[in-house]
Amino acid sequence: MKFTIQVNDGPYQHQASDSAYHFTLAALRKGHQIVRVFFYHDGVLNGSRLISPPQDDRHIVARWSQLAAEFGVDLVVCVAAAQRRGILDESAAQGLAVANIAPGFRLGGLGQLVEAVLAGDRLITFGD
């Protein structure tokens, strides 16, 4: 089965990001394909490399980055929602001091969500 995952909540806002991560990891381990994970609304905060949880807490952003590195999962952060929340890559930084998108993530538009939905068998949304 081919899944497209949409994450709408920030990494420490609710359980949505944790649930999406664990679902995605379990699906990959069972041999399913993840077409794309699309982060939208406050979910784009999952793509910030500036997230720095306490040492005794889980590091959700690092988990997503590791998943991308290990399985080649396409992690796309909605560019419009990201810019509104200060998440930038090199091209979007436009002269600002630093790009702050986490490793394994990239900016993209809603068209990439639509494309992934059409390519997959199921869209699973986590968060409001």
- The pLDDT assigned to 86 comes to 87
In this prediction, residue 60 carries a pLDDT of 96
Q: What is the pLDDT of residue 101?
A: 92
Which residue ranges in the chain fall short of pLDDT 50?
none
| Domains observed in the chain | 2-126 (3.40.1260.10)
pLDDT value of position 98: 77
Distance CA 53, CA 122 (A): 32
Q: Active-site positions?
A: 78
Residue 40: C-alpha distances to residues 1, 4, 56, 126 (Å)? 23, 13, 27, 10
Terminal Cα distance for the chain, rounded: 24
pTM (2 decimals)?
0.94
- The pLDDT value recorded for residue 42 is 97
